[in-house]
Amino acid sequence: MYLQFWHTYNPSNQDTQQLNSLKIQLNKVISGNNQDLRNFYYQLKNLQNRFSQNPRLDYMLNNLKQDLYIQLYSQKIQAKTQSKEFKQNFVNEFSWWISIDDPILDECTWWYNTLDDISFAYNIPTALTISTRYRETNCGYYLPSNWDWPFQILKQDYGTWEITEDIFVKSVQDFAQFSKDKHIQYKTKLWINLTYTWFDRTWLVNHWALYNWARITWSDESWYIAQALAPKYLYDWYWAEYSWAIRYWLIPKFLKILDREIQNKY
């Protein structure tokens, strides 16, 4: 993380008092809500870009922005540290199925911090967000020609013009919220409890099956389970019968991304 603290503006005592007061008010409004924390940070970032030529406003906005991001970042790092052993065990348990190593596309590492921040704020696995983005748009930074969002979830007239940071950020937020809403919608039939620090292979399969159309069936042993109508969407390059696909799909890509996160390669 790179934080810039130097400024040519020399704040007055009144500036310092106003800053402290604003920080207290912001923290009261946010009140432990990480989505609000991240959203306020992003709004302050945009405001600073707009008023960068005003030394005083630039100083005030930058100071508020940095204060919020330090809060978000410190919580996120703590969560990463506490969940590292669990994630390593998850990779060890399931990655041995993968027969061929696949280098992560360079495009998938771009915007990692943004994807990671939003995933943390919405409490979903970052590897879920990135692997889904890989599956839907090959990690490209563009608006698909079918006028859908980069995550292919909302049928809105989104256009096919050049993507902007605001549009990209909103698409990631919408993916996260769409996923959470989907889990709530099917909570009486499927157990899906995916968080930033905890997940299960069955929960992942249920999530992705729902995401790409699924048949929900009953089993005396497992109760309800989602069966993907397009299994290759999940399993290509994962099991032997799917091992000759052109590219990795969701489960192996999730594992590969998770492994790189654990090794701090992003």
**CA–CA separation, 83 and 263 (whole Å):** 13
Buried (b) or exposed (e) across 153-180, using 16+ Cβ within 10 A? beeeebeeeebeeebbbebbbbbbeebe
Return all residues near 147 (Cβ < 8 A) that are at least 6 apart.
Answer: 156, 157, 158, 159, 160
Q: Please give the model's pTM, rounded to 2 decimal places.
A: 0.85
Dump pLDDT digits (tens) for 36-83.
Answer: 999 999 999 999 999 989 999 999 999 999 999 999 999 999 999 999
Question: So where are the chain's domains?
Answer: 13-73, 98-262
Cβ contact 2:29 at 8 Å? no
Dump pLDDT digits (tens) for 163-213.
Answer: 889 989 998 999 999 899 988 887 777 778 899 999 988 888 888 877 776
Region 258-262: what's the mean pLDDT? Answer: 89
Determine the pLDDT at residue 210. Answer: 77
Determine the pLDDT at residue 173. Answer: 93
36's tokens: 């609000």
Cβ contact 48:59 at 8 Å? no
